[in-house]
Amino acid sequence: MPNSSSISEFLLLALADTRQLQLLHFWLLLGIYLAALLGNGLISTAVACDHRLHTPMYFFLLNLALLDLGCISTTLPKAMANALWDTRAISYAGCAAQVFFFVFFILAEYSLLTVMSYDRYVAICKPLHYGTLLGSRACASMAAAAWGTGVLNALLHTTNTFSLPLCQGNVINQFFCEVPQILRLSCSKSDYLRETGFIVLSVLAIFVCFVFIVFSYVQIFRAVLRMPSE
């Protein structure tokens, strides 16, 4: 049986069996990708060029646009290339890079959404403290923490996943490389359980972020409803 040292490439899930459907999927993915490029590119350009938008909220929005652009650029270009050239192969290094960047952008994006909810909470519920709590240095530190969280988690998951011995073939039942699908190829139960534990911890961290986001917006809605209005 093959092991991880003998695997030079993985086979991704084909989006379609017929050539016509493959080309259709290529054009659909291309349309989605171009729309994402255009939308996030316009947001980034507007925030970077307009000095009136150099505020904490738009600074975080710029970071979110860059993360979203990076996330979709990790998976769609390879899927489009495979559909166009009628292939399923991705190199071992390419798969590792795809796992790293996908985990990085996803977790950094969740962390940044949490920071953005805190920004709106302070702006609406504690407006007199906004300038103190969210100065330029604080905003840069929180954004750096969000990006750093993504990098650390991506390094942890990628290193641990691709250190596993793989003896269940090289077929991945997904159109891009992801950790759960690669774990299915592992032949080491202890290492499999270790990485599964890391995934559970990451999911719990995302859940904590989700709870914080919900709590922040509940407080925001309560504050807005208490505001006097004609």
Give residue 169's domain range: 9-226
Q: For the ranges 122-126, 145-149, 169-173, which has the lowest average pLDDT?
A: 169-173
> At 111, which CATH number?
1.20.1070.10
Mean pLDDT of all residues in the chain? Answer: 87
Quick one: pLDDT at residue 1?
42
Residue 193, phi-psi category: left (phi > 0), alpha (psi -120 to 50), beta (remainder): alpha
99 part of a folded domain:
yes
Phi first, then psi, for residue 14 (nearest 5°) are -75, 135
4 part of a folded domain:
no
55 part of a folded domain:
yes
116 part of a folded domain:
yes
170 part of a folded domain:
yes
Token representation of residue 192: 């499999």
63 part of a folded domain:
yes
Give the pTM. Answer: 0.87
152 part of a folded domain:
yes
Question: Are 86 and 101 within 8 A, CB to CB?
Answer: no
Name the percent of the chain lying above pLDDT 70: 95
Question: Are 24 and 102 within 8 A, CB to CB?
Answer: no
* CA 19 to chain CA centroid, nearest Å: 30
Total domains in the chain come to 1
Mean pLDDT of 175-179: 88
* CA 128 to chain CA centroid, nearest Å: 34
pLDDT exceeds 80 at position 16: no
Give the Å distances, CA to CA, from 185 to 2, 3, 61, 103: 10, 9, 38, 19
Q: For the ranges 2-11, 82-91, 207-216, which has the lowest average pLDDT?
A: 2-11
26 part of a folded domain:
yes
